[in-house]
């Protein structure tokens, strides 16, 4: 098997400082954590970008059991945690892509493939000198336009006000491609009836940071 070298730089850690022990069979792990992602346009496909420990992926898999959930995460420990939940709950509609989402886009090489895309609490890189590392920018929005189906939904949540301004700037730039569904400020609230309480949601609340929710629909 040929080893692919990613052309995309990954910032931050991809593994925990301490090696976590797990008792899952390696064959099972390799069947779930894979870079051989086969997605069919006719299926209902949901992409969870930066899936972390998989709280939202599990939530989506339960809510849409006939869909295919692609959890994309660079942090291996989070992917192993999700593997545990997949095994424990006997879930059959989740695949995990261990790597950069831009690399995943290159691997798929298909257009109009996803019904919905979730980006919950992407790394805000709060320091000015690191802001270029942020995932959501104009170039990234162009990629989303090509991979999401017509009428597909994009769900973005952040607790960083500076990142929110950058996201909204990109939304405005591509306003001819997306309908901003929840433009009214009152509807930016993170609704726990619609979202799981992820690790980063809990961190935001504990630190008194307000999560903002943006919902887009491809025209």
Residues 171 and 144 sit within 8 Å (Cβ to Cβ): no
CB atoms within 10 A of CB 114: 25
Grouping H, G, I as helix, E, B as strand and the rest as coil, residue 126 is coil
Grouping H, G, I as helix, E, B as strand and the rest as coil, residue 177 is coil
According to DSSP, residue 92 is labeled -
Residues 6+ apart with CB under 8 A from 186: none
Catalytic, 123? Answer yes
Catalytic residue among 123, 139, 159, 191: 123
Whole-number Cα distances in Å, 129 to 5, 8, 125, 126, 133: 26, 19, 9, 9, 9
Residues 6+ apart with CB under 8 A from 80: 20, 22, 24, 29, 33
Beta strands 114-120 and 148-158 are parallel
What residues are labeled active site? Answer: 123
């Amino acid at each position: 098997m040929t080893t692919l070298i990613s052309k995309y730089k990954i910032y931050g850690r991809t593994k925990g400082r301490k090696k976590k022990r797990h008792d899952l069979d390696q064959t099972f792990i390799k069947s779930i954590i894979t870079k051989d992602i086969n997605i069919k346009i006719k299926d209902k496909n949901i992409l969870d970008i930066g899936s972390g420990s998989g709280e939202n992926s599990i939530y989506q898999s339960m809510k849409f059991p006939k869909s295919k959930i692609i959890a994309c995460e660079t942090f291996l420990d989070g992917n192993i945690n999700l593997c545990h939940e997949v095994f424990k709950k006997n879930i059959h509609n989740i695949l995990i892509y261990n790597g950069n989402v831009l690399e995943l886009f290159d691997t798929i090489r298909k257009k109009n493939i996803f019904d919905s895309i979730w980006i919950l609490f992407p790394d805000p890189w709060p320091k000015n000198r690191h802001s270029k590392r942020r995932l959501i920018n104009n170039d990234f929005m162009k990629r989303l336009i090509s991979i999401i189906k017509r009428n597909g939904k994009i769900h973005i949540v952040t607790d960083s006000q500076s990142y929110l301004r950058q996201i909204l700037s990109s939304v405005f730039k591509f306003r001819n491609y997306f309908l901003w569904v929840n433009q009214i400020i009152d509807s930016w609230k993170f609704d726990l009836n619609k979202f799981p309480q992820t690790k980063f949601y809990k961190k935001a609340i504990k630190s008194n940071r307000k999560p903002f929710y943006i919902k887009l629909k491809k025209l």
